[in-house]
């Protein structure tokens, strides 16, 4: 790990299940339970359906008139993982760029991150349109030509903007939306399914529970010496 830190680190942090304790899309579907969401999730988890297609289909099950309810539910029920403020403070103190790369949706990602003062151009997530009868997800950060994964919000497209020869690229994540990016970066801080995936593929990773664990490991890098 010491070697990899000679270049300045840049952090790409997942939102659902990483910054927040649970996946907010799954929580919304479980709570409001629109008929038909469960097979869609099963197909996404089994990698039979792309995240973009599946997430689009699930939200299309919900009427746009529920916007307030959906937003309120996430804001009231999402918990932030311990140590998140400490990690942001560490990044500021050391001049390390911190990006939120989220497969979540703008209507809950931005309000939940509001208290933390992350610049909006450092937050990447999907968009939403409540003007039609049903909720339509928009994809302002879709895959570029180098990614054929149909991600929705394409983390690898963003990661590739930071060339490997100039940055130590570090991803923090937990699940399917992080699988493609994990293969690109120098180091993964992982939880849950992403830990299993990194183990299977032999990718350099450090399992973590709170963001204090992440700070603890970052402190040991010699990138600023």
- By CB under 5 A, name the binding residues for Zn ion: 143, 147, 149, 151, 154
What is the Cα–Cα distance from 89 to 132, expressed in whole angstroms? Answer: 40
CA separation for the pair 31, 68 (Å, rounded)? 14
Told to check if 17 binds Mg ion by CB under 5 A, we report yes
Q: Quick check: 24 binds Mg ion (CB under 5 A)?
A: no
176 and 168 Cβ atoms separated by less than 8 Å: no
Q: Give least dist CB 181 to Zn ion, A.
A: 9
* 16 contact, one of Mg ion, Zn ion, none, CB 5-8 Å limit per kind: Mg ion
Among residues 174, 190, 195, 214, the one that binds Mg ion under rule CB under 5 A: 174
By the 8 A CB rule, do 83 and 215 touch? yes
Cβ 133 to Mg ion shortest distance, Å: 29
> If contact means CB under 5 to 8 A according to the sort of partner, which of Zn ion, Mg ion, none does residue 14 touch?
Mg ion
Q: How many CB atoms lie within 10 A of CB 156?
A: 20
What's the CA gap between 51 and 25, in Å, rounded? 12
What does 143 interact with, of Zn ion, Mg ion, none (CB < 5 to 8 A by kind)? Answer: Zn ion
> Is position 186 an interface residue for Mg ion (rule: CB under 5 A)?
no
> Interacting stretch for Mg ion, rule CB under 5 A, among 3-11, 104-112, 174-182, 203-211?
174-182
Q: Which is nearer to Zn ion, 65 or 164 (CB)?
A: 164
Burial of 198 (0-12, 13-18, 19+ CB in 10 A): buried
C-alpha–C-alpha distance, residues 17 and 212, integer Å = 16
Given Mg ion, Zn ion, none, residue 154, with its beta carbon under 5 to 8 Å by kind, binds Zn ion
């Amino acid at each position: 790990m010491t070697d990899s830190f000679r270049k300045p680190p840049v952090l790409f942090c997942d939102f659902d299940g990483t910054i927040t304790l649970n996946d907010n899309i799954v929580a919304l579907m479980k709570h409001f339970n629109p008929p038909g969401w469960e097979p869609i999730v099963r197909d996404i988890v089994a990698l039979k359906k792309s995240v973009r297609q599946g997430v689009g289909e699930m939200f299309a099950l919900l009427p746009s008139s529920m916007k307030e309810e959906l937003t309120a539910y996430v804001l009231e029920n999402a918990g932030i993982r311990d140590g998140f403020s400490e990690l942001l403070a560490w990044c500021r103190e050391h001049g390390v760029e911190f990006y939120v790369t989220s497969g979540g949706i703008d209507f809950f990602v931005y309000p939940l991150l509001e208290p933390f003062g992350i610049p909006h151009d450092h937050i990447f997530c999907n968009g939403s349109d409540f003007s039609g009868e049903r909720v339509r997800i928009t994809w302002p950060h879709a895959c570029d030509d180098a990614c054929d994964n149909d991600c929705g919000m394409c983390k690898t497209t963003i990661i590739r903007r930071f060339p490997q020869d100039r940055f130590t690229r570090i991803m923090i994540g937990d699940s399917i939306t992080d699988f493609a990016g994990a293969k690109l970066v120098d180091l993964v801080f992982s939880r849950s399914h992403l830990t299993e995936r990194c183990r299977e593929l032999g990718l350099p990773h450090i399992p973590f529970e709170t963001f204090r664990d992440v700070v603890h490991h970052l402190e040991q890098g010699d990138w600023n010496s």
